[in-house]
Amino acid sequence: MVLKQISENLFKPDYEQYSLVNVSNAILSHFGCPAHYPEYPFGLEKPGLMENVNKVILFLIDAMGMNSLNKILIKNPIFSESDILQASSVFPTTTSSSLASILTGVTPVEHGILGYTLYLKEFGTLVNMIELSSPTVGKLGANLSSKKILLSETIFEKLSKAGVKGCVLTSKNIRGSGFSNLINAGASVKSYQSFGDLFEKLKEMLDENGKLFGFVYWGLLDSIGHKLGVNSQAFERELHWLLRMIKEEISKNLKSNTLVLIIGDHGQIFTPWQNEIWWSWKDEIASFFDLPPGGEMRMMHIYTRFPKEVVEYIKEKYPSEAFAITKHQAIEMELFGKSPKKENLERIGDVILIARKDYSFYFKLTGREESLKSKHGSLSLDELLVPIILIRG
């Protein structure tokens, strides 16, 4: 995989063949469904990997980046190097965009989940895309049409047309949440309460008859990274023991017709508080804003009628801290993917701010914003590169 550099130490996702989108399209194609993008080249990288497979389990560990995995494997080679491939995440490198891409098989500019918070014109407000809520109108549930939020069929809906059963196993805490309901449409959804519960229910999924695509989500690692840091002992221990448990519990009884892919959605980067830049309506740059910025702490959608002036301002005031481009430039560069839908163009900021190095940007809106030790959303290699660990029965 060769990534195109768009600025110093910032790289574009490889939507052509090696991104999370291509992984999903390889699964769709394997089960006889139309692919929207080139397939991830599993056959080239690992010949025979998908032969005689009628059951694929995608086990996603939120925030497992390639760099974090390498640190674990240096100390304890739980998996062989030959069983590990790598992919690029999508832009922005955040859970909502990545999961939506994996579970639809299309890029963010097509499915519409273009960041953690976005301006949705139909609601006239910024919306938290995980909670599907707004700081001004609260939960959107009663007024919400899912097809207005996620503008693509899910992989489960597509596979069901080919006679492939879709199953999801996720944490009890998020089952039934607004975003989960969107991305899991068409699947049979179960929840777990603990490690042991997860593996018991995963065993039940593996014992299902017929063709099956299963998606398992583990989100605790991401939370540990945000609170304690991606370089913390807690983060490393969590990832180490999780991988050991997965290998031991899955490998011993895996049938020959089953393929398990353990994958990350994005990585994280340590972001010291000294390199946090906090804005509010009192700051000079806010005079250009029409709305509070959306996006992430490492990637902002800036909604403004003065895009050129904002780009120039950021270049002048924050040359080492941020890379700023207009919406038109971002679309032209295909950072969010190809074939943008008109509805989604309105969700993208008029200016896109991408944090450099270990800097991060905040906008004081609710007063509940908190400093996080590690973050993601930008296009550094730490955030962009994710592993694919292969376990074949």
Per-residue pLDDT of the chain (393 residues; tens, 9 = 90+): 899 999 999 999 999 999 999 999 999 999 999 999 999 999 999 999 999 999 999 999 999 999 999 999 999 999 999 999 999 999 999 999 999 999 999 999 999 999 999 999 888 889 988 888 887 666 766 555 566 788 899 999 999 999 999 999 999 888 877 789 899 999 999 999 998 999 999 999 999 999 999 999 999 999 999 999 999 999 999 999 999 999 999 888 799 999 999 999 999 999 999 999 999 999 999 999 999 999 999 999 999 999 999 999 999 999 999 999 999 999 999 999 988 888 899 999 999 999 999 999 999 987 778 899 999 999 999 999 999 999 998
Antiparallel, parallel or unpaired: β 322-326 and 351-355: antiparallel
Q: What is the DSSP string of 197-236?
A: HHHHHHHHHHT--SSEEEEEEE-HHHHHHHHH-TTSHHHH
Query: Exposed, middle or buried: residue 121 (CB in 10 Å: 0-12, 13-18, 19+)?
Result: exposed
Please state the φ and ψ torsions of residue 44, each to the nearest 5 degrees.
-75, -45
Q: Could you count the other beta carbons within 10 Å of the beta carbon of residue 390?
A: 20
Q: What pLDDT shows up at residue 393? A: 84
Q: What integer pLDDT is reported at residue 339 of this predicted model?
A: 84
Single-letter amino acid code for the residue at 53: V
Contact 279, 364 (CB under 8 A): yes
Full strand arrangement of the beta sheet holding 294-295: 138-139, 133-134, 125-128, 117-120, 294-295, 299-302, 351-355, 322-326
Angle between helix axes 233-251 and 195-206 (nearest 10 degrees) is 30
Instruction: Identify any residues that bridge with 353 across adjacent strands, giving them in sequence order.
Output: 300, 324
User: Which CATH homologous superfamily contains domain 6-270+380-392?
Assistant: Alkaline Phosphatase, subunit A (3.40.720.10)
What does the domain layout of the chain look like in residue ranges?
6-270+380-392, 273-372
- Residue matched to tokens 């994280």: 268
* Cβ burial, residue 109 (10 Å; 0-12/13-18/19+): buried
Tokens read off for 206: 């593996």
Please give the pLDDT value at position 145. Answer: 55
Residues paired with residue 347 on neighbouring β-strands, in sequence order: none
**C-beta neighbour count of 287 within 10 angstroms:** 12
Bridge-partner residues for 212, per DSSP?
55, 165
Per-residue model confidence (pLDDT) at position 323:
98
User: Is the pTM value of this prediction over 0.85?
Assistant: yes
52 torsion bin: left (phi>0), alpha (psi -120 to 50), beta (else): left
Which tokens hold the place of 244?
A: 């050991």
Please tell me the class of the 273-372 domain. Answer: alpha beta
CA dihedral 270, 22, 33, 215 (to 10 degrees): -20
Q: How far apart are CA 362 and CA 143, in angstroms?
A: 29
